[in-house]
Structure 1
Amino acid sequence: MKTKVLKSILPIFVMVLAVGLAFATESNTVNTTGYYDDPSIPGIQQVPGGTDCPMEGVIPCEYNGFQVYADQNLLNPLHKNI
């Protein structure tokens, strides 16, 4: 009797556990629009394709050697994921 119940309940439990763990994972990538200022080009430029740099961190995020910012006013610098 125990093995019959175990054989029928175990696959259901495994499926519920797999679905629950699939939703429990969290993505660490952030796809935001980044802006930088290249002095040789007038105006503020947008990073093509966006950036995955968060606002927290120590190492500055760069595009072509220029600091990347989260806004067009260049007030909120973005940083690299470590």
Structure 2
Amino acid sequence: MAQLARYGFWSQTGASPHLWDHQKAAIGTVVAYLNANRAIPERPEHQEAALLKLPTGTGKSGIIAVLARCLPNVRKVLVLTLSFGMQN
């Protein structure tokens, strides 16, 4: 997390783009998850997956961009999206 604080977008300075508090909290949760032991006890050769779920318009893309580009230990990222059509 200390590495992320060096980026200008981490704190609000003037009119420059920055992260909202809930985005920083989500990033903190993901960083903690990435640093934890994610092995499944019954199947130690497998690891658990994670899901980022936030309402529309809350900045998921920004969170994913920070996680994919700014964390030194993250080398591969797969982003899946699911879109539901409008129902009448």
Shorter-normalised TM range? under 0.3
TM value normalised by structure 2: 0.20
The structure whose Rg is larger is 1
Considering fraction of residues, name the structure with more helix. Answer: 2
TM value normalised by structure 1: 0.21
